[in-house]
Amino acid sequence: MGPDQALYVVATPIGNLADMVPRAVEVLQCADLVAAEDTRHSQRLFSHFDIDTPLVAYHDHSDDQRTARIIERLEAGETVALISDAGTPLISDPGYRLVREARNRGIRVVPVPGACAFVAALSAAGLPSDRFTFEGFLPAKSGARARTLEQLAGEERTMVFYEAPHRVADTLDAMAEAFGEHREAVIARELTKAFETFHMAPLAELAAWVRADSNQQRGEIVLMVRGAERKAGATLDDESQRVMKLLMAELPPKRAAAVAAEITGVNKKVLYNWGLEQK
């Protein structure tokens, strides 16, 4: 018996095809249409599991007309499955606009769980996982990346990032600058594939290790960074708070703390940590 009429959000393997769950195979085989991030990429998966359902491309650059056509088919009573190139759709992958529009139209949206790269990486990383934040991809440009990392410097939860292989070494350098070179981190690469790699080290050491081996700058990469140590709450007097608020309206926290320290005489690190708490 095939799946009921709905939009199915189907997770697919991130490398090892044996990780495909039976329910996902059934849904893809029985659907009327599969919306895929890259139809050519998905053909390997379809060939392996004898799936001959029609494919249509759906990605972040798809126009509103493509979304509308898929919605029309759903409203006509057809079953549509949404997949990305690998892992769970919408997790740093396309699909949000389609899922949102389906829900707005009262169409049932059904998740079919399976592989997800950051969940797999975090489960085997050896970093605290009771509380974490998934940050996805950082900005590609160095200035925007540095500002984003500066805002995360006081984050106490484990932080999880995706990164492109050609940027991973520069990103680790930027993390060491923003978080401190001794902050513990893990790189997880090529999960479930032949050259799966996990490596844990302080950020500065991890950056050097990656730069020394070009193989570590290839494939699909997850970076995980231990959160900041919880600090005893140092309180600021009213005047120092007033100065910091005025400066932070115009400056990033790090620069605001440096200027405020000169004005108030309060320790720069105390001012900086207070500023991060206000974000």
Q: Could you report the per-residue pLDDT of 77-125, keeping only the tens digit for each?
A: 999 999 999 999 999 998 999 999 999 999 999 999 999 999 999 999 9
Quickly state the pLDDT bin for 152 (edges 50, 70, 90).
Answer: very high
Report the share of the chain in percent with pLDDT over 90: 83
Residues in CB range of 250: below 8 A, 6 or more apart: 256
Q: What is the tens place of the pLDDT at every residue in 156-177? A: 999 999 999 999 999 999 999 9
pLDDT at residue number 233: 52
Comparing 145-149, 201-205, 254-258, the range with the smallest average pLDDT is: 254-258
User: Whole-model pTM?
Assistant: 0.81
Comparing 45-54, 189-198, 260-269, the range with the smallest average pLDDT is: 260-269
Report how far residue 224's alpha carbon sits from residue 201's, in angstroms, rounded to the nearest whole number: 11
Q: What is the DSSP letter of 214?
A: G
3-state secondary structure of 247: helix
Q: Give strand pairing partners of 112.
A: 10
Quickly state the pLDDT bin for 234 (edges 50, 70, 90).
Answer: low
Given a contact cutoff of 8 angstroms between Cβ atoms, the answer to whether 34 and 42 are in contact is yes
Look at residue 6 and tell me whether its pLDDT is greater than 60.
yes
H or E stretch covering 206: helix 203-212
Buried b (16+ CB within 10 A) or exposed e, 207-225: bbebeeeeebbebbbbbbb
